[in-house]
Structure 1
């Protein structure tokens, strides 16, 4: 239905211009799910300038991102606790 060139240009719009899939999909008249699949394929072939990650590398990256989120939450909590106890001292 859509040409490969159209698909690639739509995916490039999302990736290179940091636009949301939903907004680009709306402007082009395609579903967000369809555009999401095009973006995944575009990224998988390394068209965004970054080499495609192997499965093991992606798993390590997801694990590192999860750990980073948890550590940020802990830091935020500890900052709140420190603020509470600092205000109690007065």
Structure 2
């Protein structure tokens, strides 16, 4: 006889995910305590993280200065690469040995 699929309320899911996030306990341990499969709780936790991703942290003043320095360097290097250069002078070829008629 096939097993019936269990359904969980949104409140139960939210509380289960909250237990994982706030306690720092492993998903498998929390799932075991709640009597659900760890893959199920892992899916709920991943879905929550995708929906509630934190915005990027703003740069510190030191990081802003470093980014500006790097952007300036990139701009300078691109200009150097775009500037045509004359080829480096080639050293003269050694003299060819003279061939005498040997016939």
Provide TM-score, normalisation by structure 2: 0.45
How far the C-alpha of 1:20 sits from its partner, in A, is 0.5
Note the alpha carbon deviations across 1:39-81, whole angstroms, 9 max, x for none.
00111111xxx5167xxxxxxxxxxxxxxxxxxxxxxxxxxxx
Question: 1:46-57 maps to which residues of 2 (within 5 A)?
Answer: 46=52, 51=54
User: What is the match of residue 25 of structure 1?
Assistant: 31
Please provide the CA RMSD for this pair.
1.6
**For the Cα contact (< 8 Å) 1:45–1:52, is it kept in 2?**
no
Look up the match of 1:37.
43
* Larger helix fraction of residues: 1
Moved over 6 A (4+): none
Higher relative contact order, chain-length normalized (CA < 8 Å, sep 6+): 1
Aligned residues: 50
The alignment partner of 2:54 has SS state of coil
* Bigger-Rg structure (1/2): 2
For structure 2, the 5+ residue unaligned runs are 1-6, 57-103
Q: Which runs of 5+ in 1 are unaligned?
A: 54-90
